[in-house]
Amino acid sequence: MAEKRDYYEVLGVAKGASADEIKKAYRKITKANHPDLHPGDKECEERFKEANEAYEVLSDEEKRKKYDQFGHAAFDPNAGFGGGGFGGFGDLGDIFGDIFGGGFGGFGGFGGGARSNPNAPRKGENLRVTLNITFEEAAFGCEKEITVPRIETCPDCKGNGCAPGATPEVCPDCGGTGQVRTTQRTPFGMAQSMSPCSRCRGTGKIIHQPCKNCRGTGTIRRQVKEKVNIPAGIDDGQAVSIRGKGHAGANGGPAGELLVSVSIRPHARFEREGNSVLLEQNISYAQAVLGAELEVPTLDGKVKMNIPEGTPSGTVFRIRGKGIPYLRGSGRGDQFVTVNVEIPKNLTSSQKELLKQFAASMGELDGVKAAGSSSGIFGKKKK
């Protein structure tokens, strides 16, 4: 298995990057490599998954602290971080136990070379999927039914891997521990080491009559349907977590979580910035000069907006309460409308003549502003 890349490197940000910088980098990568845009492209799919994994850690303050301290080992259940009797390094006893066989000046009590019980209950892995939704569905929330490939406990053998009526045998070679201890002579004396049991392949048990449904694995893979409630105000790249709907646990352990990452399809007119909705609205030259009442689209339908006379191109108007609902809290953001004045083209001769008369009345000659005139075409004076 290839070694995982550094999460900061995956997103192309510095280690001290802010949460906003991390989010922007994540959105940029996932949009550029989205599987829907590159069907069948394994490299894009891998970059997309890699970015999701990196963002899941770096966007969470606690996970990011652990990652900054321990790297990928912080989330490796076999690495020994986050527990143990010596500053979280539970494997130190194993190291000394393997080298000195538990008999070097009391190092045997440092952990005793103990290994985790392969038959102990273990939580299942989280199941991650991506759900595409519309701009409006993200704004107001929705309920979706999705199909996910989930590993479940075999219904025939109830997870023990044996055919009906049979039970697994405790491995006689390792006594059910899944590990065997070997002793060999070294320059320092007799040294002991632990290795997976070859007879039971580290499982601690032997199945003589395997279940036909799961072939002795205790689990099956199925396509299952799940309903997902998407909360109003969710943003692109955020995920909904459903407890107990991930892959099945082992040895009676709980199932993992179903993590549904949201991908919002672009809207034809609207853009989103936080909880604000942005809209570009074209207006005519006459509307900008004379003023007008316009109907502009919002997430709730069309509303009327007044354009004052002499409005320059690029002016931004605020429509309060027409933005995105706040994900955690009440109320909504605002909508911001940027007006762009369209300059008329392909004028007729009579229209050009009228425009020249207008320019002359404004103190302009042949479309060039007369020297000494201080008022612009919208009648505004500048200091």
CA distances from 193 to 11, 79, 190, 355 (A): 40, 18, 10, 94
Q: From CA 58, how far away is CA 238, in angstroms rounded?
A: 13
Q: Are 11 and 54 in contact (CB under 8 A)?
A: yes
Backbone φ, ψ for residue 14 (5° rounding): -75, 160
- Find the radius of gyration of the CA atoms of the chain: 33
Q: What is the pLDDT of residue 75?
A: 76
Q: Are 324 and 298 in contact (CB under 8 A)?
A: no
Q: Are 324 and 265 in contact (CB under 8 A)?
A: no
At position 165, the amino acid (one-letter code) is G
Q: What is the pLDDT of residue 366?
A: 54
Q: What is the pLDDT of residue 175?
A: 86
Q: What is the pLDDT of residue 116?
A: 66
Q: Which two tokens stand for residue 258?
A: 């179903």
Q: What is the pLDDT of residue 77?
A: 58
- Look up the pTM and report it: 0.59
Q: From CA 220, how far away is CA 51, in angstroms rounded?
A: 29
Q: Are 94 and 115 in contact (CB under 8 A)?
A: yes
Q: From CA 174, how far away is CA 204, in angstroms rounded?
A: 7
205-206 and 335-342 beta bridge pairing:
unpaired
Quick: pLDDT tens for 120-168: 888 999 999 999 999 999 999 999 999 999 999 999 998 889 998 898 9
Q: From CA 349, how far away is CA 355, in angstroms rounded?
A: 10
CA distances from 336 to 310, 316, 339 (A): 19, 6, 10
Successive 10-residue mean pLDDT values, the chain, 383 residues: 79 90 89 79 86 89 86 67 41 40 39 60 91 95 94 91 90 87 77 84 88 91 94 93 92 91 93 95 93 95 95 96 91 96 91 88 63 46 35
Element (H, E) at 350: helix 349-361
Using CA atoms of 41, 42, 43, 47 in order, give the dihedral in degrees to the nearest 10: 110
Using CA atoms of 97, 102, 103, 107 in order, give the dihedral in degrees to the nearest 10: 70
